Amino acid sequence: MKFEPTRRQVLIGGASLATVVAFGGSHPAFAASDRTRIIVRVEKDLSNLDPANRSGPIDLNVIWSVQQGLISFKPGSTEWELDAAEELTQVSDTEIAFRLRPGLKFTDGYGDLTAEDVKFSFERFLKPDAEGKPVTYAKDWSELDRVEVTGPLEGRIVLKNPSPALFTIALADGSGRIISKKAFEALGKDIATKLIGSGPYVLKEWKPREQFVLAINPDYKGAIKPHFQEIVGKPIGEQKTAEIAFRSGEIDFTAIDPESGKALAELPDASVTQVPAIDYIWFGPNIEKAPFDDIRVRQALRYAVDVDAILQGAYSGIYPRANALLAPGLLGYWKDAPVHERNLDEARRLLEEAGHGGGFKTKLTIEATARYEAIAQIIQANLAEVGIEIEIEALESAAYWALGENDASKDLELSLIKYNGKFDPGFQTQWFTSEQVGQWNWQRWKNPDFDALHAKGAVTTDKAEREKIYVEAQKLLDESAAFIWITHNLNAFASRKWLKPGVLPNGNNWLYTAFSEATA
Amino acid sequence: MLSRAFLYTHLAFKLAMALLAVAGSVVLLLALIRMIPGDPATVILGSRATPGAVAALNARIGLDKPLGWQTADFFMSLARGDLGADVFNGRPVSGLIVAALPNTMALAVSAMLIAVLSGVALALLSAKNPGGRGDRAIAFLSVGFISTPSFVVSVFLLMTLSVTLGWFPVLGAGRDGDFVDQLWHLALPTVALSVGWIGYVARLLRSSLLETLGENHIRTLNAYGVSQTKIFVKYALRPAILPTVAVLGMGFGELLGGAVFTEVIFNRPGLGSLIYDAIRTRNYPVVQGCVFVVVLLYVLTNLLADLLQTFLDPRERSRLIANSRGR
């Protein structure tokens, strides 16, 4: 059968094609057309908007823009600035006085923001909830004794012990948000899905799994000025889908794989920002298990593993190397930390000395992601050169993190771990204390000196002294040879050229109020 | 003729079996899900929660009870029309499903429609001249369609039609109340999801058609000079399509579950992506509710296909009548 189109068929076909091209090509009403409104991609949907029971940075970023704290983080910095408080004074190591700005009002008719609301917001972390259970973030305020109200807009925060970390862990963070006592009592369980605040934005809409919309709060009386009329958040779980959506113009801002940065930066209207993170990714043995109970075997591991090759092979050579627990920029950053270079001869000598010259078999447990699998394979190849044979056990995320429960980590041999960092060094050191063995100290390393340093750091208010404490603590970690640091991670973001993102130094937390139009 | 009483008994029996299948599947799936290590507390509290906080949260959301108790709780709540609440924020699961289901149904129905229309057309073209160039081309195309996973098609369509040409949107299901926008958002996921089924229906129906076309009644019709179109559509297609109807019944259920990849890639807020997210976060009440709905729909579509087959196939009807008389 021959296909011999008539002239009429050709004309009709051509016209149809032209119509499709014309209508199809003009359809998308994309993000960049309206610069009073931006569309940002979030990795998952909002989950719980109660600051005391929030479920992570996605919730927190929205809570920050709607609810005020006495203080809040400065854009792009780990420092804080006054927010709802007009004045905040450290009266003593255990007492902080505050005076609120006058005229601050909660949305939805819940009245003025007063010192009573501050007291209620902070003290609820100490009390069980309606069902008799502690709130999720109770630990953030564990040093709080009480909040005393000394006037309608004035009060004092009284601590049980000095707590220098309180400012970054609680006051400026999510646990320091001030909620309306009236709203809390009126909303009951709905406090998890309805956000009442006094901040620069209101949560205008939240359509689960589709989008949330932040709109300017017309009654806001504070000092932080938002730049966009509306900020729309679209939950997109898959990174590649987000990158495609960015390429097609449907979103204005998204976190990306740093490896995709180069390609996206070549788009005419795109800009890529890289923010070194403060996380800590390392690999190490369970030192309670033979042969890793012998420090010579641990040292041999450290000599045998090629961290630079891991950074090249699994991180495309663009992530910075970590040599200690605390990332640059954090209090206690150990800038002279030793850089352990690969030395196979030394590794073999140490193994020989420890009676393992013929090598041994062991298991490396990782969270199943493409990157961690790549790291594991490099480690496997590295260690094979000194006779250590590794079986890789890749666990799905929730199964992997379940190793922190019920002392499950006792069965681990080698593990590759990533923990997210926070701005206070004490947050990072806590996971390596003896009391964390059986929970999140998967190397099961115990050192009383380290525990003492961690405890001392938590109550030392002198900044220089604290700095020394955390450097000393990191030296002990290094001496143990139980931790082979890989990287502090790298965050990368793609945005429209005209948009300046408001990302905090950890990369996970964004201040929507700090998103602004980029100046040329 | 079938007696009305027998028909009702037959229907009631089929329905009871279907409900039993739903209950059994749900119990099995719930047990399997709980066997996976990890719990929502770890997800909610972050990777480094204290055991005390994990235990408190598990107690709050009822995960401290034995599995059998939790399953019984689920069925008792179900009897009251309550599918439970999202562990993260207490939203009713039924609300989440009601919001997600239309998006998945629209996708599954449109994909099935495209698959049936295109598959039947290709099968007819193919069977018209078996072994010819057209038949071989369609065979090649069909096998290609079947063997290409929907997520590959999804990415290809996104990169060409959305990113390069900008003709179609990438994200979501379209604006509420804007039917044209919703159709626009539905187009690419539908094509991606239906491609495999187009090939499958075409191959299945072609074989069935060729078998029917070789039967005596078709030869008789040819001898009487009945037009080829009439023979194909009226006398060959109807009996030939019966095996396809049975497969489509199961296929629709599969499409509901199989829409996961497509929904995730196109970021479509449907039931598939809801289940995917809920399993990842061990949000058991949401998983339970969604699994129940998917199993229910799967069983019901199969039941429907079964009944449709009885209606379309005179042999099935005769068997049923014989059974009713035998009683």
* Residue B39 confidence class, pLDDT cut points 50, 70, 90: low
* Residue A11 confidence class, pLDDT cut points 50, 70, 90: very low
Nearest Cα neighbor of A376 from A427, A326, A429, A416 is A416
- pLDDT over 60 at A13, yes or no: no
Which DSSP letter does residue B196 get?
H
Strand partners for A484: A283
Strand partners for A314: none
Q: Which pLDDT tens digit goes with each residue over A443-491?
A: 999 999 999 999 999 999 899 999 999 999 999 999 999 999 999 999 9
CATH topology of domain B93-310: MetI-like fold (1.10.3720)
From residue A97, give the alpha-carbon distance in Å to each of A149, A217, A474. Answer: 10, 28, 34
Which residues of chain A lie closer than 8 angstroms to B173, CB-CB? Answer: 210
Q: Which pLDDT tens digit goes with each residue over B238-286?
A: 888 888 877 887 777 777 766 788 888 888 888 888 888 888 777 888 8
From residue B146, give the alpha-carbon distance in Å to each of A196, B114, B126, B252. Answer: 52, 15, 16, 16
From CA A29, how far away is CA B67, in angstroms rounded? 49
pTM equals 0.79
Q: Candidates 3.10.20.30, 2.70.70.10, 3.60.15.10, 3.40.190.10; correct CATH number of A6-274+491-517?
A: 3.40.190.10
- The beta strand positions in A116-176, using DSSP E, are 144-151, 154-159
- Select, from the ranges A19-33, A174-188, B310-324, the one with the highest average predicted confidence (pLDDT): A174-188
Model pLDDT, residue A304: 97
Element (H, E) at B6: helix B4-35
The contacts of residue B303 (CB under 8 Å, 6+ apart) are B14, B15, B18
Strands A484-487 and A414-419: unpaired
From CA B85, how far away is CA B61, in angstroms rounded? 9
- pLDDT over 70 at A10, yes or no: no
CB atoms within 10 A of CB A78: 18
Which residues of chain A lie closer than 8 angstroms to B42, CB-CB? Answer: 398, 401-402, 404-405
Q: Which of residues 92-111 of A touch B (CB under 8 A)?
A: none
Model pLDDT, residue B42: 65
Q: Where do the domains of chain B lie?
A: 4-79, 93-310
Which of helix, strand or coil describes residue A489? coil
Q: Which chain A residue is nearest to residue B98, measuring alpha carbons?
A: A208
CATH 3.40.190.10 occupies which residues in chain A?
6-274+491-517
Indicate if ipTM > 0.90.
no
Q: Candidates 3.40.50.2300, 3.40.50.720, 3.10.105.10, 3.40.50.170; correct CATH number of A280-488?
A: 3.10.105.10
Which residue of A1, A26, A47, A509 to mutate against B (max B Cβ within 10 Å)?
A47
Share of chain A above pLDDT 70, in %: 93
- Say if the Cβ atoms of A209 and B51 lie within 8 Å: no
Query: Which of A163 and B229 is assigned the larger pLDDT?
Result: A163
Which of helix, strand or coil describes residue B239? helix
* Mean pLDDT taken over chain A: 90
CATH 3.10.105.10 occupies which residues in chain A?
280-488
Which of helix, strand or coil describes residue A348? helix
Which residues of chain B lie closer than 8 angstroms to A395, CB-CB? Answer: 37
* Sign of the four-CA dihedral B230, B234, B240, B241: positive
Model pLDDT, residue A25: 42
Q: Which pLDDT tens digit goes with each residue over A135-162?
A: 888 889 999 999 999 999 999 999 999 9
Rounded to 10°, the helix B271-280/B242-265 angle is 60
- pLDDT over 60 at A6, yes or no: no
* Residue A63 confidence class, pLDDT cut points 50, 70, 90: very high
* Mean pLDDT taken over chain B: 83
Residue type, A94: T
CB atoms within 10 A of CB A313: 15
Share of chain B above pLDDT 90, in %: 12
* Residue B25 confidence class, pLDDT cut points 50, 70, 90: confident
Residue bearing tokens 């790549």: A374
- pLDDT over 70 at A15, yes or no: no
Residue A464: exposed, middle, or buried by beta-carbon count in 10 A (0-12, 13-18, 19+)?
Answer: exposed
